[in-house]
Amino acid sequence: MPDYLKKSFFINSFIITIIFSLDRISKFYIILKSETNLSSSLFTSKFLNINLIWNEGIAFGLFSFNENYLYNLLTILIVIVIFIILIMIIKSEGFKRYALSMIFGGAVGNLYDRIFYSAVPDFIDFHIKDFHWFIFNVADIFITIGVIIMILSEFRGNKLKNEVL
C-alpha cells in the first residue's frame, strides 16, 4: 500500500480538515456578527475581548503592507512555506507529523483568507488591564500549538541523542 494511503495519512488529513473547518466556522461567525452588530467590538470582559480586525501582515499583524505588490510577494512566500510544510509532513513521523499537520491546517486557513479577503480576520484579544497581547484567530492557536510541539520534540530528541553519546 502506498505511504499516502496509510493510517497516518487519514489521521493527518482529519487533523488538517478539523482545524481548517474550526477556523472557517469561527471566522464566518465573527464576520457575520460584526456585520449584523455594525461594530467590530463583539464582546468585552476583564481578560478577553472579541474584536474583529483585518490583518494584512503575517503572524500577529507583523509586516503589514499597504502596497499590493509587497502583499502579493508575502502571499507567494507563504504559499512556498506551506508547500515546504507539506513535504515535511510526508517525510516526518510521530508527534512531529501531527505538529506539522496543525501548522499546515492553520496556515491553509489563514492563506484562504489572504486570497479571498486580502486580509486575515483576527478577533481574539487577551489582555491584562491595559496590556494587550497580539490579536489572533483559531488558525493562529493551532499554528502556535504545532510550533510548541515541534520545539519540545526537538528538545526531547536532542536530550535522547546526548544520553546515547
Active site residue 140: yes
Q: Which helix (H) or strand (E) holds 127?
A: strand 120-128
| Number of domain units in the chain | 1
**Whole-number Å distance between alpha carbons of 70 and 114:** 13
Whether 122 is a known active-site residue: answer yes
Name the catalytic one among 23, 113, 125, 140.
140
Q: How far apart are CA 122 and CA 138, in angstroms?
A: 8
| C-alpha torsion sign, points 3, 146, 112, 118 | negative
Residue by residue, pLDDT tens for the chain (165 residues) are 565 567 888 999 999 999 999 999 999 999 999 988 877 788 888 899 999 999 887 554 555 555 677 888 888 999 999 999 999 999 998 889 999 999 999 999 999 999 999 999 999 999 998 888 889 999 999 999 999 999 998 888 766 555 544
List the domain range (segments joined by +) for residue 60.
Answer: 3-164
Global pTM? 0.84
Question: What is the helix (H) or strand (E) element at residue 7, kind and residue range?
Answer: helix 7-37
Which of 23, 122, 125, 130 is catalytic? The answer is: 122
